[in-house]
């Protein structure tokens, strides 16, 4: 994911967290299970991305966070951070989406492998410079 797609990620997260009724149809449409915001389970391996979830009122979807998480998510299980993810705890909380702020060395191969085997989506967001925040 490129830094230019970061605003798209935030908008996507915000939209996924908004519960709204769908109306205007006389007959039911096809069932789409992956669009159900109630099933969204997020594990954030970045304190900054955890704060963004809190700011966008999406913390209710948070099932795992780092030990350095901001105030407001004290009851959320700690699942490690990008440099030392706790794979066993991630298995227990079973997220559908992992939010990571990758380091220069990239994503932990064991974490990537686990996510792929479990069908978890991984969204990366680089925040290395002040300019990355505005993108």
Cβ neighbors of 103 (< 8 A, separation 6 or more) are 82, 83
Per-residue pLDDT tens for 54-101?
999 999 999 999 999 899 899 999 999 888 999 999 999 999 999 998
Instruction: Please check the confidence at residue 14 and state whether its pLDDT lies above 60.
Output: no
> Does residue 100 lie within any of the structural domains?
yes
> Does residue 96 lie within any of the structural domains?
yes
The encoded tokens of residue 28 equal 């039911």
Specify the pTM: 0.68
> Does residue 4 lie within any of the structural domains?
no
> Does residue 63 lie within any of the structural domains?
yes
Output the domain CATH number for residue 50.
Answer: 3.40.50.1980
> Does residue 49 lie within any of the structural domains?
yes
Instruction: Please check the confidence at residue 15 and state whether its pLDDT lies above 60.
Output: no
> Does residue 19 lie within any of the structural domains?
no
| Structural domain range at position 71 | 38-133
Domains of the chain: total: 1
* H-only helix segments in 56-126: 87-93, 109-118
């Amino acid at each position: 994911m490129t830094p230019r797609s970061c605003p798209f990620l935030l908008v996507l997260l915000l939209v996924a967290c908004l519960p709204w009724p769908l109306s205007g149809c006389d007959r039911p449409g096809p069932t789409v299970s992956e669009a159900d915001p109630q099933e969204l389970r997020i594990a954030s391996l970045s304190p900054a991305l955890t704060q963004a979830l809190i700011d966008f009122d999406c913390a209710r979807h948070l099932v795992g966070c780092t030990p350095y998480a901001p105030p407001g998510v004290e009851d959320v299980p700690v699942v490690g951070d990008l440099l030392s993810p706790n794979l066993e705890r991630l298995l227990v909380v079973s997220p559908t989406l992992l939010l990571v702020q990758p380091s220069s060395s990239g994503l932990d191969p064991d974490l990537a492998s686990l996510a792929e085997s479990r069908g978890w989506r991984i969204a990366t967001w680089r925040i290395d410079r002040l300019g990355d925040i505005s993108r």
